[in-house]
Amino acid sequence: MKKIAFILALTASVSFCADQLIIAAGGGYKKPVSAVIENLKKEGMDVAGSFANLGQLVIQSRENKISFIVGDETFLKKSDLNITKFERVGRGTLVLVTPKNIKINDVSEIAKFDKIAMPDPKKAIYGIRTNEFLQNAKMDGVKDKILAVAGVPQVVAYVINGEVQAGFINSTEAVAKKDEFGSIIYIDESLYSPAYIGIARLSACGEQALCEKVMEEFKSDRSKEIFSKFGLK
């Protein structure tokens, strides 16, 4: 009897997890997306977050375990994801940050540094934008000093720990951890392509009413306020 009860409990647990809506996002947007998820939970919805670089999330989504992805609009629309609906939530910006003990006034000063971190230049939103900026600003000379890591959260960790002298991240993380940086310099937006951020609803989200509620929440005034607070325009 106990064995049967255990099997039934395990089945219920698996069913519960299967019904849960997963909202994934690039690691650089963990703070605002987590705040939106908390609001959805308060409305009684069973939702959870998953955070990694977009390339990894796209791979995970092929297993039909992700209902939504929040990230770079261009990247998502060019992917092979089965997107059933898309809503833009704002525009991100590229930012240079330094450890607390290093102060600079202009991005050109990184020429004197030995090690600069950036997100993956092929898969990460702000790695791609960093590459564009360095080329357009004629700063290719610093490329030998670049340490490419998986994504924004890893860049932040390297900067805060003083393992690099500067790092390129997004405005959202710069705002979220502003007290942990020495300098925060916003990069001229004319020197890289716009980073429009949106939420993509995937075919794995089968419950029409619940899925639509998530999309509406991301468009709501309170969600816009959250994203604005964390640096999205």
Reading across the β-sheet that carries 116-119, which strands appear in turn? 146-149, 116-119, 166-170, 94-97, 184-186
Contacts of 95 (CB under 8 A, 6+ apart): 168, 169, 170, 171, 174, 184, 185, 186, 187
- CB neighbours of 195 closer than 8 A, spacing ≥ 6? 72, 91, 92, 93, 94, 125, 126, 129, 170
| Residue pointed to by tokens 């997004």 | 170
pTM (2 d.p.): 0.78
Walk along the chain (233 residues) and give the pLDDT tens digit of each residue.
433 343 333 333 333 345 789 999 987 789 999 999 999 999 999 999 999 877 788 888 887 789 999 988 988 888 888 899 999 999 999 999 999 999 999 999 999 999 999 999 988 889 999 999 999 999 988 989 999 998 899 999 999 999 999 999 999 899 989 999 999 999 999 999 999 999 999 988 877 789 999 999 999 999 999 999 988 88
